[in-house]
Structure 1
Amino acid sequence: MTTFTHDAELIQQVVDHIENHLALQQADELSVAHLAQQVGVSPWHFQRLFKTWVGETLGNYIRGRRLSAAAQQLLHGSDSIIDIAFAVGFNSHEAFSRSFKSQYGLPPKQFRQQAPAVDLQQKPVLSQQLYQHLSEEMQRQPEIITRPELTLQGFKTRIPSPFLVEGSYCHLLENSWRQLFSHLDQLPGHVPHTMMGITISDSGRFDEPELDYMAAVAFDDAAALPSLGAGMSRYSLPQQTIARFSVASVDIDTVGKTMDYIYGYWLPDSGYQRASGDDYELFEEVMDMDFSNIKSSYVIPVSALPESS
């Protein structure tokens, strides 16, 4: 058995145990010592393994999973807030409300009233597939940079919102990419060998049932913009601080798992918050429509969290 397989099995045992005991308020049941004993390793080795591969502490993971379970109950159930708090392992309304607002930006009552359709802050279950993605297929610590103002030009298509509907929509994107490649000679002056795939929400909340997906090239000089050809669209990105995560491959499963990690694991502990603006995929060293040998990144806009007084 390889080290990765062995570690993955240990982590999965721990995650399964946590999921089965989220409602318990007994601290010992989900303590480092107890969980380490469950999988037959020392507490020191367990803490090191969990933090190394998951990217956060056991306590943060458990708290995040409890709050994610609570968010689902608030949106889809009718139990009182205090009953939900106890059901997910909190021993007081105050502790639950404080933790919930810290993760979701809203107190539980307001969260239930507003019923957001898209919940990017949810902490997903750490499946073996996600664990493997974090371990082998993506850079877990991003490059934080200031991106200059860019203008995108390319082709749009309507897609079902990937934030609301599960399932593959890659076949819907192909035509936009084919159009872009076939019209590159009409787009001189763009950033060379670089393309972007961006999902655009008119509301900025990504809660529409359908969104625009744009396959585009970028221009960092507005004066160099070519005329809009038939069927082309433009979209502007302001100068902005971004977090850029390198990923090893390009497909719908990769994007979903990358977003799960960024929003569920990295962002809550990063010292940053998501800023207004757009996420996008960045493709570099692009020579043709064979995306197997390119550099791929997932990018989100960020701003530093204000220092607490």
Structure 2
Amino acid sequence: MHAWEQIQQTIEFIELHLDEDLNIENLAKMASLSPFYYQRLFSRLVKKPVAEYVKLRRMAKATESLLQKNKRILDIALELGFTSHEHFSRNFKETFGMTPAQYRKNAQTLNRMTKPQLLLHYTLIDEGVPLITDGIVLEINRQKLVKPKHFIGLVKKMPVQFVEGLGTKSGIDPLDTLWRDFHHKKTSELYLNDSSQEIGVSYPCSDTRYFYYFAGSESHLANVPQGYETWQMPAGNYIVCTFEAEDFEVLVMDALYKTQQYIFKTWLPKHKLKTAAFCAERYKSHTPTTTSMEIWLQIQD
């Protein structure tokens, strides 16, 4: 068994026992490592110390449970291994900047710690061969875009740390606000069809501490209304990664993050491919019924 598999084994155990007192010595024994080396290896692979990871996974589960309005906050706290309502609320506010009651009253999309799937760092698939892991199905192919596609939407300037913290940092998702704003204006101001294909694009800013994120829909409007931006997907050869998840929230939170990590840190380097300085996320729609999407990366010679 590889070292990463030993750590993954304990990650799976943690996920099933978040309501229990998880002991470092027992986890290390499960991984056949000393407590010292287990904690070092866990932190290196997961990017968080064991205790902090457990806390953040409990908080991630809490964001789901709190949406069930028929469950008392105290019951949720006890289910997740907290000793009191106060202890749970303090940890939730430290993590997300709001209390469980505030979140329940005004639920919004929160970035949260995802459960790692370390296999994605060590497995290389061929083009056209699907990879199925941890509720995600992804497949990578090449496509040629003969003509450029044009989109209209809104742009937000984002700190680079936002990308670096995806999957490990917790807090309010600023891009959710951008998408909500765009969807509100899409039909009321741009008069675009709800079914028009949508795209989210990350591309460089002249200030390297930031990047731009464009949220928009395919459009052929001759005149661009004030306050909106356009973005063109250039013609050319592309790497296209299609992936699916069990529901829309898992798709745009966990699956999108893990797929991007796999493409940029494993698949592209191993295939010695370089791509243009933008990453395009293509959505059929942003509805709760959407369970698949694509990442488009233009190949550079």
TM-score by length of 1: 0.48
Provide TM-score, normalisation by structure 2.
0.50
